[in-house]
Structure 1
Amino acid sequence: MSVLTRDEAQTRAQLLDVHHYRVDLDLTTGDETFGSTSTIRFTARAAGDTFVELKPVTLHSAVLDGQPLDPAALDGNRLPLSLAEGEHEITLTTTMRYSHTGEGMHRFLDPTDGASYTYTQLFMEDVQRVFAAFDQPDLKAVFELAVTAPEGWTVLTNSVTERGADGRWTSAPTQPLSTYFVCVAAGPWHSIRTEHAGLPFGIHCRRSLAPHLDADADEIIAVTKACFDRFHEKFDEPYPFDSYDQAFVPEFNAGAMENPGLVTFRDEFVFRSAVTATERMTRAMVIAHEMAHMWFGDLVTLRWWDDIWLNESFAEYMGYQTVNEACSDLFADTWIDFGVSRKAWGYDADQRPSTHPVAPDPQAVPDTASALLNFDGISYAKGASALRQLVAWLGEEDFLAGINIHFKRHKFGNATLADFIDNLAAATDRDVHAWAERWLRTTGVDTLTPRLTGEANRWELSVDHDGSRPHRVRAGLYDRRPDGELALRDSVLTDVPQREPIHLTGPRPALVVLNDGDLTYAKLRFDEVSEETALRGLSRIPDPLTRAVVWNSARDMVRDGELAPADYLELALAHLTEETELGIVQGVLAFARQQVADRYVPAGQRPAALATLREIARALLRRTEDGEDPGLRLTAVRTLVDSATTPDQIASWLDEGTVHGGPELDPELRWRILARLAVLGATDETAIAAELDRDPSATGQEGAARCRAALPDPDAKAAAWAAMFDSDDLSNYLFTATALGFWQPEQADLVQEYVERFYPAATALGDRRGPAMAEAAGRYAFPAYAVDADALARGERHLADDTMIPALRRKLVDQLDDLARALRVREA
């Protein structure tokens, strides 16, 4: 199959104007394939040759302007067209195949009740798996959809959809859309419908999740309406589509997808089990993120994939900021969780060999295969951080004025980075073009370090700047009170590079925190006195966002070999037990468990690391015995389970169905405990099968797959390996669950033989099953536990194989760089 190049897209866009698609899908033809007919009306500005794209099982017919074309002319995914100047119409009739990888038209059989569901994910090139199209983002058109579905199904699309005779559903014409935004979700959905601002709103999930959606419906709808209203306060352009549906769909690869009028979410956001307030806030942020795309991405769309950051960075920033503004009665400051967890994704990605500018040069994204690699922490977290810094530097009023100019000039069309910067510049006297060049066209992370000079009551605060970007930051100056608490003396706004030092009077501050409030994207270091204060008094800092900034600095110091992993764990033991902000507790424990304990401490020190984590968790349990903080208690229980090195306590919880003092064990906790018991060799297939009988849901199937793969038994490992790599039967989610169970640090000797087998097996899998499964293999099935020089050398040798698909190569480059970093941390 040919990938589309940027040059080909530009040539085709110069030749064609695409006006209208009529897409007719028949979902009643069986479980493996479906019927698809698309009729496209378009204009050729001149006579010329081009092509239309499709990936069918069978192309039955193609008719151009009433004349049949030879189906055998289909070359891979391209049907060549020779066009005269003027108006044209082409109709292509095909049989297409359902996928089980979350690409194209995904089909899912719910094991709970036997109901089937289908939905589309057409991002990048996957529209071609569903219907024929001129598949590039700058050939927008109006779409009308007709879907024939089985009895009892509901069909959702981008616009208002009505059911006619014989199970045939038809949609109202859309506004002009890029091909990758078209969406169909069909099945016996459980739906909750309402109206807001004169538009129909709906939330939908599969029937087996109905009680759980019903339990959360009020919160989901309240968040949706509050964010919708807040965006209308920010943006001059009204919401541009005729309805707003949100479908929580099974086995979804991403967090969500911003299809206009029909946002699709992974249905793990319909919580079956207890979750924390931070996890609910994350769901709210994703709702706001996808809604922001209705303007930035859907109303105004990138011209080519080098500008994907414009979609994702903007939505990421707006998602956090808008929930903070519109839902403050429901959630804590969203920027705390962003700072301690999400932002780290950007920092990590930006320090790997695969780093790229937030806005890469167009020549660096020559085709769709390379574009797919830019959906990472840079396009999301770093880009959102850059926009937050831009707002701090520009001012929110001018920022929103520029955004509204952008929407007005390009609505229902396409735009580039240059357009975006020009429109921002039209709203301010500041040199936005220079700012963009230094922030959006460069790679890497700057480092800021305070330096105090002076004596007695006269001091000068300078900022040592390792990097090239300008920064506007707040320097927080803290004094230590007699009771040991740290009190903010002053918060000073300064630009870096500085024109002159900040002049201070009074005693030397006990702590100077650059980037107080987390307004910029940079590593933060401390002067010697401040570092001592920060590490000893972290939990005494009054503002949780400042604490998040300091925790992030400690994380960076571990990764850079400046703070020993064991010292980080001692820092967590000293301060997490007193932490009141749940997002900080969850973010720090996740890093401590997944990176420090599993990768950064030498194998011989891992039991001590896990013991420290259990000590923290037990202290948090003692703090929450009064039932006042169930989220903190749930976090503590999860940590105790994941860090257990003996089965006794967690096995007794599973037998009794509860943790003493709460919580009672819901399905998520039961599967978590059973998975850890499997790792420890304290359960067996009989117990796993019994638990699956208790919870036969899709999540239960995944839990069982993970537990079976985690059993410390050669036959269990062989069976799991064969399921992942020797057949193509596993769906994307069952593959991931199996992979998560397979590699365990406790089982290093047992799985050693598979480390070398991973590379050719993953390469072959990517070739057979495509980029989504290749990415899953690289992300989840990589032997991350094997932190040794031989494993690194083996992986680097395999990178010399230039036949693997780009999605897998990118993941392996990143994984091997993380492995090399883990080795450096251990040596340091």
Structure 2
Amino acid sequence: MPALTRDEAQTRARLLDVHHYDIELDLTTGDDHFRSATTIRFTARTAGTTFVELKPATLHRVTLDGQPLDPAALDDNRLPLTLTPGGHELHAEADMPYSRTGEGMHRFTDPEDGETYLYTQLFMDDVQRVFTAFDQPDLKAVFALTVTAPPAWTVLGNGIAHPLGDGRWRLAETPLISTYLVAVAAGPWHSVRTEHDGRPFGLHCRRSLAPYLDADAEEILGITRACYDRYHEKFTEPYPFDSYDQAFVPEFNAGAMENPGLVTFRDEFVYRSAVTDTERQTRAMVVAHEMAHMWFGDLVTLQWWDDIWLNESFAEYMGFQTLTEATAFRDTWTDFGVNRKGWGYDADQRPSTHAVAPHPDAVPDTASALLNFDGISYAKGASALRQLVAWLGEKDFLAGINDHFTRHRFGNATLADFLDSLARTTSRDVHTWAAHWLRTTGVDTLTPQVTTADDQWQLTVDHDGTRPHHIALGLYDHDPADPTRLVPRERAELDLPAEGTAHPLTLTGPRPDLLLLNDDDLTYAKVRLDPASWDTALRALSGLPEPLTRAVLWNAARDMVRDGELAPTAYLDAARTHLPHETDNALVQGVLSFARTQIADLYLTGTARTRALATLDALCRDILDRTTPGQGPRLTAVRALVSSATTPTTLRTWLDAGTVPDGPALDPELRWRILARLAVLGATDHTEIDAELTRDPSATGREGAARCHAALPDPAAKEAAWHAMFATDDLSNYLFTATATGFWQPEQRDILTPYLTRYFPDAIALAARRGPALADAAGRYAFPLALADDTTLSLGEESLHHPDITPALRRKLTDQLDDLRRALTIRAAHA
């Protein structure tokens, strides 16, 4: 399927003014295809040729202004059109294939009760998998949809759905929106409905998840109402659509999608098992993030995909900030700092890095644009906006945003448009700020240099980078009554120029025991500590009063490990000392995740890895000893202990008893987690896995069983898993991911080594055959990091030159190989 180029989109936008789509979808025509009929009314400004996009199984009929066109003229996904000046009407009827990869019209049958559910995911250029369209974001139009579904089903869409009888539904016409934002969800949904601000609000999920949604419905709706009201306090433009539905859908590739009036979420957010407060906060943040998109992305939409940050960075920033302001979740920036920001730092240090707002020439087509949905467009962009607010002031920032909304409502806008709106509301030089922050790549590093003299001390900040920074300076001293606690002095603020060195800061009195650059995590930069401050941190990190301050320190330690300046074992020692005393679960979760997945599995090998797992086991047991059931860190520690087990004894005892001593009881999620680790250790078999699937026949159970079967250290099990992933196209996106995550295990190097030479050619073939979503999964989850060595690196680098490699897979392999290269460097530095 050829990718739409920016030049093609600009040419078509100059030619066409698209007014209205009338779309009829018939979802009753069988399990493999659905019928799609589209009528588009548009105007050609001049005579010219162009094309419309469609990716059908069969194109039955096409007419232009009532005259038939030859369906055979469809070349892959493009149907050429020759136009005269003036108004036109295009009509197309086709059979369209259902998807199993989460793209287009995804079809899912629930193994628990046999019910079927459909939903669309039309992002970027997947509209043409569902209906005929001029598929680019700056050709906005009004959409009217009629959907025929089985009579027992409910149909949801961008506007209020009106039943017409006999399974037919008419969706209220949309205002002007982009093609990729059209949404339909159909099935026997379980729904919880209410009303707020005169609009219908709804929550929807599969029937098998009904009791779990009902248990959390008021929490989710409470978050929704609070964010909705807070956005109306911030924004002068009211919510621009007629309703607000949130559908939790199966096998969804992203966290959620901002379809106007019908936000779709992955249905793992309907919790079947116990979760931590941090996970509830994450769900709430996604609710806030997607609602922000109703303004950032839906009301005002990017003109071309180089400005995706105008959607994602803003929604990310607003999601965390608004959740903090409007709900009981007050420490969201701690979670962002320790669990989200590293995503941006890592992406920004790879060869594939790009600017937050790349130059348009760097995004020549939709295939290249799809690669930019990463930690830079989300986490780095949100960090840049947080820095902008700290530098500009929130009042001027919001004034600029509201000017942007007013000037471009129901239209499209660019970075230049947004900067013009900001410039109208402030005397600050926002254009220069944007040039430094949004058009550059890489991570700045800030290092303190401290000198002392009689009754005063002086700070100079070495700035390795090119961006200006407005930062807070944290100054802390040991508490005389308890040296494990640190008490703050009055903090200072610094402005670091983009070029050159800031004037030294001279303060009276003794130097603090701990000097921390970027306290409150207001900027995006790696920070280092001077030797005295690092010594204090090692002894008293857990004694800092604010979790966000502790997050900055943990991030500094993380960056030092990744840069080869701190031994991985030293990070583990710090975690062993301080994590049992940590009360913020986001920090516990973030530190344990880095220690387990990066340090233990990538940066250490052999006996060093075994010792690391033993350290993590002891650390988790300490947390269990200090916590009671229901406390967030306890569940986090149980999960980490399970994944770190090197012998099956404790896990088998828990599984047989159905509980961890003193809690928690083993719910389905914990049972599958334990069984997966037992499979890795060779302490279970196919019979026990199948029995567990009988116990939990849900979609999640099916994924758990696939993961466990693939994790068994048995040649036949490995070959069966490999065949399922790469030799057939039977696995859905979720079952592929589950199988892949079970397959590669560091404990099983001997049995896995023969698959190394098979991986790269098989992944390349799969990506070409099954498209970007499976290409991403193959590169992300099926990559052989368990065999992290020079041979894997060499084979991977060679594969990047394969003529058939797709852009999505190339990007993912490039990132994985860079992480592998970094891991080998760290191992060599600390051997």
**TM-score, L = length of structure 2:** 0.99
What is the RMSD of the two structures over their aligned residues, measured on CA atoms?
0.7
**1:340 equivalent in structure 2:** 338
In the alignment, the residues of structure 1 paired with residue 455 and residue 296 of structure 2 have an alpha-carbon distance, to the nearest angstrom, of 51
**2:542 equivalent in structure 1:** 539
Does 2:826 match 1:825? yes
Q: Deviations over 1:14-55 (max 9, x none)?
A: 000000000000000001000000000000000100000000
**2:219 equivalent in structure 1:** 219
**2:638 equivalent in structure 1:** 637
Is contact 1:140–1:177 with CA below 8 Å preserved after alignment? yes
In the alignment, the residues of structure 1 paired with residue 182 and residue 455 of structure 2 have an alpha-carbon distance, to the nearest angstrom, of 65
Does 2:492 match 1:489? no
* 2:613 aligned counterpart, secondary structure: helix
**2:393 equivalent in structure 1:** 395
Aligned amino acid, residue 503 of structure 1:
T
* 1:260 aligned counterpart, secondary structure: coil
In the alignment, the residues of structure 1 paired with residue 733 and residue 741 of structure 2 have an alpha-carbon distance, to the nearest angstrom, of 12
Report how far residue 633 of structure 1 moved: 1.2
**1:769 equivalent in structure 2:** 770
Aligned amino acid, residue 582 of structure 1:
N
Report how far residue 499 of structure 1 moved: 4.4
**2:578 equivalent in structure 1:** 575
In the alignment, the residues of structure 1 paired with residue 588 and residue 172 of structure 2 have an alpha-carbon distance, to the nearest angstrom, of 48
Aligned amino acid, residue 610 of structure 1:
L
Match of 1:420 among 405, 418, 422: 418
**2:686 equivalent in structure 1:** 685
Give the 5 Å matches for 1:430-469.
430-469=428-467
Higher mean C-alpha deviation, range 798-807 or range 565-574: 798-807
Report how far residue 602 of structure 1 moved: 2.3
Give the 5 Å matches for 1:623-702.
623-625=626-628, 627=629, 629-702=630-703
* 1:193 aligned counterpart, secondary structure: strand
Does 2:546 match 1:548? no
Runs of 4+ in 1 over 3 A off after TM superposition: none
Aligned amino acid, residue 615 of structure 1:
A
Higher mean C-alpha deviation, range 778-787 or range 806-815: 778-787
Give the 5 Å matches for 1:139-538.
139-327=139-327, 329=328, 331-482=329-480, 483-484=482-483, 485-497=485-497, 499-538=502-541
**1:35 equivalent in structure 2:** 35
* 1:146 aligned counterpart, secondary structure: strand
**1:14 equivalent in structure 2:** 14
Give the 5 Å matches for 1:56-75.
56-75=56-75
Report how far residue 658 of structure 1 moved: 0.8
Does 2:561 match 1:563? no
In the alignment, the residues of structure 2 paired with residue 332 and residue 793 of structure 1 have an alpha-carbon distance, to the nearest angstrom, of 47
* 1:785 aligned counterpart, secondary structure: helix
In the alignment, the residues of structure 2 paired with residue 245 and residue 515 of structure 1 have an alpha-carbon distance, to the nearest angstrom, of 39
Aligned amino acid, residue 390 of structure 1:
L
In the alignment, the residues of structure 2 paired with residue 812 and residue 512 of structure 1 have an alpha-carbon distance, to the nearest angstrom, of 39
In the alignment, the residues of structure 1 paired with residue 554 and residue 346 of structure 2 have an alpha-carbon distance, to the nearest angstrom, of 15
In the alignment, the residues of structure 2 paired with residue 507 and residue 255 of structure 1 have an alpha-carbon distance, to the nearest angstrom, of 49
Is contact 2:244–2:262 with CA below 8 Å preserved after alignment? yes
In the alignment, the residues of structure 1 paired with residue 277 and residue 249 of structure 2 have an alpha-carbon distance, to the nearest angstrom, of 22
Report how far residue 151 of structure 1 moved: 1.6
5+ residue gaps, structure 2, are: none
In the alignment, the residues of structure 2 paired with residue 508 and residue 494 of structure 1 have an alpha-carbon distance, to the nearest angstrom, of 17
Aligned amino acid, residue 793 of structure 2:
L
Is contact 1:638–1:669 with CA below 8 Å preserved after alignment? yes
In the alignment, the residues of structure 2 paired with residue 6 and residue 661 of structure 1 have an alpha-carbon distance, to the nearest angstrom, of 60
In the alignment, the residues of structure 2 paired with residue 431 and residue 27 of structure 1 have an alpha-carbon distance, to the nearest angstrom, of 54
Aligned amino acid, residue 139 of structure 1:
L
Q: Deviations over 1:483-530 (max 9, x none)?
A: 212110121111013642222111111111000000000000011111
Is contact 2:461–2:502 with CA below 8 Å preserved after alignment? no
Aligned amino acid, residue 521 of structure 2:
D
Report how far residue 481 of structure 1 moved: 2.0
5+ residue gaps, structure 1, are: none
* 1:419 aligned counterpart, secondary structure: helix
* 1:174 aligned counterpart, secondary structure: coil
Is contact 1:52–1:134 with CA below 8 Å preserved after alignment? yes
Report how far residue 660 of structure 1 moved: 1.0
**2:26 equivalent in structure 1:** 26
Does 2:723 match 1:743? no
Match of 2:608 among 605, 608, 613: 605
Match of 2:622 among 609, 612, 619: 619
Q: Deviations over 1:364-423 (max 9, x none)?
A: 100000000000000000000000000000000000000000000000000000001111
Does 2:60 match 1:85? no
**2:800 equivalent in structure 1:** 799
Is contact 2:323–2:330 with CA below 8 Å preserved after alignment? no
* 2:520 aligned counterpart, secondary structure: coil
Report how far residue 603 of structure 1 moved: 2.3
In the alignment, the residues of structure 2 paired with residue 405 and residue 499 of structure 1 have an alpha-carbon distance, to the nearest angstrom, of 34
In the alignment, the residues of structure 1 paired with residue 420 and residue 448 of structure 2 have an alpha-carbon distance, to the nearest angstrom, of 35
In the alignment, the residues of structure 1 paired with residue 510 and residue 177 of structure 2 have an alpha-carbon distance, to the nearest angstrom, of 61
**1:115 equivalent in structure 2:** 115
In the alignment, the residues of structure 2 paired with residue 339 and residue 755 of structure 1 have an alpha-carbon distance, to the nearest angstrom, of 36
In the alignment, the residues of structure 1 paired with residue 797 and residue 280 of structure 2 have an alpha-carbon distance, to the nearest angstrom, of 40
Is contact 2:460–2:502 with CA below 8 Å preserved after alignment? no
In the alignment, the residues of structure 2 paired with residue 795 and residue 590 of structure 1 have an alpha-carbon distance, to the nearest angstrom, of 26
* 1:68 aligned counterpart, secondary structure: strand
Report how far residue 543 of structure 1 moved: 1.1
Is contact 1:478–1:490 with CA below 8 Å preserved after alignment? no
* 1:155 aligned counterpart, secondary structure: strand
Identity of aligned residues (%): 71
In the alignment, the residues of structure 1 paired with residue 546 and residue 322 of structure 2 have an alpha-carbon distance, to the nearest angstrom, of 21
Is contact 2:288–2:318 with CA below 8 Å preserved after alignment? yes
* 2:447 aligned counterpart, secondary structure: strand
The total of aligned residue pairs comes to 824
Is contact 1:39–1:91 with CA below 8 Å preserved after alignment? yes
Match of 2:596 among 593, 596, 619: 593
In the alignment, the residues of structure 1 paired with residue 662 and residue 454 of structure 2 have an alpha-carbon distance, to the nearest angstrom, of 54
In the alignment, the residues of structure 1 paired with residue 542 and residue 113 of structure 2 have an alpha-carbon distance, to the nearest angstrom, of 49
In the alignment, the residues of structure 1 paired with residue 240 and residue 475 of structure 2 have an alpha-carbon distance, to the nearest angstrom, of 46
In the alignment, the residues of structure 1 paired with residue 607 and residue 466 of structure 2 have an alpha-carbon distance, to the nearest angstrom, of 41
* 2:519 aligned counterpart, secondary structure: coil
In the alignment, the residues of structure 1 paired with residue 804 and residue 97 of structure 2 have an alpha-carbon distance, to the nearest angstrom, of 26
In the alignment, the residues of structure 1 paired with residue 446 and residue 12 of structure 2 have an alpha-carbon distance, to the nearest angstrom, of 47
* 1:480 aligned counterpart, secondary structure: strand
Aligned amino acid, residue 775 of structure 1:
D
* 2:557 aligned counterpart, secondary structure: helix
In the alignment, the residues of structure 2 paired with residue 603 and residue 786 of structure 1 have an alpha-carbon distance, to the nearest angstrom, of 12
Report how far residue 456 of structure 1 moved: 2.6
Is contact 1:725–1:765 with CA below 8 Å preserved after alignment? yes
